[in-house]
Amino acid sequence: MTFRSLVFSLFCFAVFPLSLSSADSKPNIVFIFTDDHCEQALSAYDNSRIVTPNLDRIAKEGMKFTRCYVTNSICGPSRAVIQTGKYSHLNGFVRNGNTFDGSQQTFPKLLRKGGYQTAIVGKWHLKSTPQGFDMFDVLVGQGPYYNPPMLSGGIDAVATRNENVGYTTDIIRDKALDWLKEGRDPEKPFMLMFQHKAPHRNWQPGPKYLTWLDDKTIPEPDTLWDDYSNRASPAANQTMEIKQHLTESDLKLVPPKNLTPDQLDAWNAAYVPKNEAYLKKRSSMSEKEIIKWKYQRYVKDYLRCVKSVDDAVGSVLDYLEEAGLAENTIVMYSSDQGWYLGEHGWFDKRWMYEESLKTPLLVKWLGVVEPGSECDEIVSNLDFPETFLDAAGLSIPGDMQGRSLVPILKGDVPKDWRTSFYYHYYEFPGAHSVARHYGVTTGEHKLIHYYHVGEWEMFDLKSDPDELNSVYGEDEYKDVQASLEAELGRLREKFKVPEDPEPAPQPKKEKKGGKKKAKQN
């Protein structure tokens, strides 16, 4: 234990001797989850683009984690990991398009057995019908940003489809509040998964924020103009560049197709004048000027979606306080992975590079977590279910592969806490053409293996935090490389990682005339 941890532990004992974990009543759990929300768009981490006062409330009243890594940086697999506490190869959901096996052990089922009432509202994105929930009301598939059809049901209710009119973020907020106010059993502790679609592609803002930021210029990341040199070939062979892979729909050059007349009028009033101004001068713009315009359009719409999420979070936090529930409710905020806001010239996620490997994690637990505290230990979405079970006073199954964060939340980092982390991405061929890879990071150095193309990368994160120059194979780093290779092998054995069962993808045959150029918008 470090001196800092010892002092914090003594502080917690002195100031909070009657911690909620030892109270007669089990704590409620509100798990707030978004899709594709990065640290760069959450002002508790980075206030250069946006202010998120309600999400920041969780950080100010609780703990901010600075190194929360995901096991597989993509939507469905991340959600399956959180349900099960197991890596993708064991829970059976390795890539989007799989169907989650709901019959397996999940933390909501275990909480129900332990006396909790469980509910999920919002994005599910695992194809199968949710199991282990007293109530669910979830988006059908990915779900649109406006007027979403949803599937509702539960343990004692047959699943039925319901239609909704309005902005999806607001609808999910209202349904969550309705359940908290009217739907739950006040005599039982509860666990609510409050899960948003936003800010997932294609970033359609709500009516309140359609013109917000119109008068602002968002700072460009230093690596927006990355040329992908000095790295393995996959970095240059993806299809997720702002330069050429954003569609007309992404850029709002065409309106959404499922809006009501009133919604369409508001949309057109916001976007048509801006689009006309751009289209009028586009033919005279340089390639660099067009990329800069695309970046501003993309990132502003992304931030507008985040702003609505922050409002929704504020409504739920306000209700918990007004209803007297905040004192005995754990509030955890996270996202399914990080995201690229133009770093490396990209949008999307998938890579083991820092922007998509890391996800926000904020935890408020009054009387247990020191307000305004920060943790830089390596934690993961793999740890979330164990944390919920431990906080509820329930045993953690031995086949779960993460660890409870409760000791860290109490200010006492276990002596044997992890100092390295294993990552594995499987979805190729697939959207955005990111090569399959696995790797290990210590937070200071990172080793990545693109195993189907036989290439490696290694980064010194202290001297090269933007991961622009691979040092794999350099004499100066041979000892570090050998250590990382050994650790990678150890972790693959520890987590029972098999060889990738899917065959190596074959290179596509080029058509006559070479590759077709991507359409420029």
CA distance linking residue 289 with residue 176, whole number of Å: 43
Give me the pLDDT at residue 508, please: 55
Q: 182 and 328 share a domain?
A: yes
CA distance linking residue 312 with residue 335, whole number of Å: 15
Residue 341 lies in a domain: yes
Question: What is the domain count for the chain?
Answer: 2
Q: 136 and 71 share a domain?
A: yes
- Listed residues 396, 418, 440: the one ending a domain: 418
Range of the domain at 466: 423-494
- Listed residues 378, 396, 418: the one ending a domain: 418
Q: 461 and 318 share a domain?
A: no
Residue 242 lies in a domain: no
Residue 208 lies in a domain: no
Nearest to 352 by CA among 428, 422, 452: 422
Residue 124 lies in a domain: yes
Identify whether the C-beta of residue 45 lies closer than 8 Å to the C-beta of residue 360. Answer: yes
Residue 118: C-alpha distances to residues 44, 140, 194, 271, 332 (Å): 29, 20, 11, 41, 15
Q: 444 and 311 share a domain?
A: no
**Burial tier of 160 (Cβ tally within 10 Å: 0-12, 13-18, 19+):** exposed
Query: Diameter of the chain by CA atoms?
Result: 75
User: In the Cβ-directed half-sphere of 68, how many Cα atoms lie within 13 Å?
Assistant: 29
**Burial tier of 264 (Cβ tally within 10 Å: 0-12, 13-18, 19+):** middle
Q: 388 and 465 share a domain?
A: no
Residue 218 lies in a domain: no
Q: 482 and 386 share a domain?
A: no
Q: 326 and 466 share a domain?
A: no
- Listed residues 390, 418, 446: the one ending a domain: 418
Q: Tell me: cis bond preceding 381? Omega within 30 of 0 counts.
A: no
Give me the pLDDT at residue 520, please: 36
Q: 445 and 482 share a domain?
A: yes
Give me the pLDDT at residue 505, please: 79
What is the CATH number for 83? 3.40.720.10
Give me the pLDDT at residue 10, please: 40
What is the CATH number for 442? 3.30.1120
Residue 175 lies in a domain: yes
Residue 291 lies in a domain: no
Sign of CA dihedral 196, 250, 355, 349: positive
Q: 398 and 446 share a domain?
A: no
Q: 343 and 447 share a domain?
A: no
Q: At what angle do helices 75-84 and 384-391 cross, to 10 degrees?
A: 30
Give me the pLDDT at residue 507, please: 57
Cα radius of gyration rounded to whole Å, the chain: 23
Sign of CA dihedral 155, 406, 354, 485: negative
Average confidence (pLDDT) per 10 residues, the chain, 521 residues? 42 38 73 98 98 98 98 98 98 96 97 98 97 98 97 94 98 98 97 98 98 98 97 98 98 97 98 98 98 98 98 98 97 98 98 98 98 98 98 98 98 97 97 97 98 97 98 98 98 96 66 36 40
Q: 32 and 75 share a domain?
A: yes
Residue 255: C-alpha distances to residues 203, 248, 275 (Å): 12, 9, 11
Q: 441 and 309 share a domain?
A: no
Residue 399 lies in a domain: yes
CA distance linking residue 332 with residue 334, whole number of Å: 7
